[in-house]
């Protein structure tokens, strides 16, 4: 779990209180619910986050360089210190609602496909706003469930098939083939992750601001599992409140 204190939109986010615990504690607990996970490490460059993780007591905090360019770089720095870890799961540090079942699904997909270097997940888009939003990353796959491309633009284009568009009256969506958003979770093979951080950023990665494109542009295969279990990343105080309400309702 990569966790930074500095965030442009929400500084100190991993330590934000969520039902009496820091946000990062909920992320750790979700990860530990996955049957395929043998242990949780939090990769951070901030002593305050490390202290909160150690106080929570269910994961180990590992300090990383403050100069890591991305979450993958931060994870790779930690993985290099643990030679026995052959499959690495990257759960974002702002995902307190990450379903354990999706982690297990993505791990199983990677383990069962020796030709894939990475696996991740997708969920069907059900409203026009998500399809059009540059903040919602879309993914298209081949017939075997391997990623062809990820984009912030609406893909695939529905402009030539008016009958496949969103229904104006209630904004529901019935397109076929369905469109999918990318679910922020990665499972890597150790060698692929360590190679990834040595490769320079690629043109499409820089254009889209999506680091997973570096894998595709270098010829690596990404397996994408479909899930119906959604999650929300906490990027703002409003997101934190949304997560709080969902968790309160779930506990009822």
Q: Each residue of 95-149: pLDDT tens digit?
A: 999 999 999 999 999 999 999 999 999 999 988 888 888 988 999 999 999 999 9
Average model confidence (pLDDT) across the chain:
91
Given a cut of 70, whether residue 218 has pLDDT beyond it is yes
Q: In this predicted model, which residue has the larger pLDDT, 236 or 121?
A: 121
- Quote the DSSP letter at residue 227: E
Instruction: Give the pLDDT confidence score for residue 72 in this predicted structure.
Output: 87
Residue 63, Ramachandran bin (φ over 0: left; ψ between -120 and 50: alpha; else beta): beta
Q: Which residues, at least 6 apart from 42, have a Cβ–Cβ distance to it below 8 Å?
A: 1, 2, 3, 24, 28, 49, 50, 53, 59, 60, 61, 62, 93
Which CATH number applies to 99-230? 3.90.550.10
Q: Each residue of 30-87: pLDDT tens digit?
A: 999 999 999 999 999 999 999 999 999 999 999 999 888 888 889 999 999 999 999 9
Instruction: Give the pLDDT confidence score for residue 226 in this predicted structure.
Output: 96
Q: Each residue of 157-206: pLDDT tens digit?
A: 876 555 555 555 555 555 667 899 998 899 999 999 999 999 999 999 99
Nearest to 94 by CA among 44, 34, 37, 150: 44
Which tokens belong to 82?
A: 């643990």
Instruction: Give the pLDDT confidence score for residue 193 in this predicted structure.
Output: 96
Residue 136 near residue 177, CB atoms below 8 Å: no
Domains 1-93 and 99-230 in one fold: yes
Instruction: Give the pLDDT confidence score for residue 166 in this predicted structure.
Output: 57
Domain boundaries, the chain: 1-93, 99-230
- Cα of first residue to Cα of last residue in the chain, in angstroms, is 28
Instruction: Give the pLDDT confidence score for residue 33 in this predicted structure.
Output: 97
Which CATH number applies to 1-93? 3.90.550.10
Q: Each residue of 83-105: pLDDT tens digit?
A: 999 999 999 999 999 999 999 99
CA distances (Å), 194 to each of 117, 205, 236, in order? 11, 18, 31
Instruction: Give the pLDDT confidence score for residue 175 in this predicted structure.
Output: 60
How many CA atoms, within 13 angstroms, populate the side-chain half-sphere of residue 250? 9
């Amino acid at each position: 779990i990569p966790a930074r204190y500095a965030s442009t939109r929400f500084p100190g986010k991993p330590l934000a209180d969520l039902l009496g615990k820091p946000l990062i504690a909920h992320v750790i607990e979700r990860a530990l619910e996955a049957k395929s996970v043998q242990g949780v490490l939090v990769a951070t460059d901030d002593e305050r986050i490390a202290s909160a993780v150690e106080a929570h007591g269910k994961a180990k905090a590992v300090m990383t360089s403050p100069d890591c360019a991305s979450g993958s770089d931060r994870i790779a720095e930690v993985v290099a210190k643990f030679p026995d870890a052959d499959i690495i799961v990257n759960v974002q540090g702002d995902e307190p609602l990450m379903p354990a079942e999706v982690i297990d699904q993505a791990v199983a997909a990677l383990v069962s496909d020796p030709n894939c270097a990475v696996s991740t997940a997708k969920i069907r888009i059900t409203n026009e706003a998500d399809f059009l939003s540059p903040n919602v990353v879309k993914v298209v796959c081949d017939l075997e469930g391997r990623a062809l491309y990820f984009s912030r633009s609406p893909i695939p284009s529905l402009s030539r098939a008016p009958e496949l568009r969103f229904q104006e009256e209630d904004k529901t969506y019935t397109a076929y083939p369905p469109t999918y958003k990318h679910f922020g979770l990665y499972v890597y093979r150790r060698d692929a992750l360590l190679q990834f951080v040595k490769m320079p950023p690629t043109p499409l990665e820089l254009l889209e601001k999506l680091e997973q494109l570096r894998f595709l542009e270098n010829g690596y295969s990404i397996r994408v599992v479909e899930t119906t279990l959604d999650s929300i990343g906490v990027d703002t105080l409003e997101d934190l409140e949304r997560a709080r309400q969902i968790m309160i309702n779930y506990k009822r």
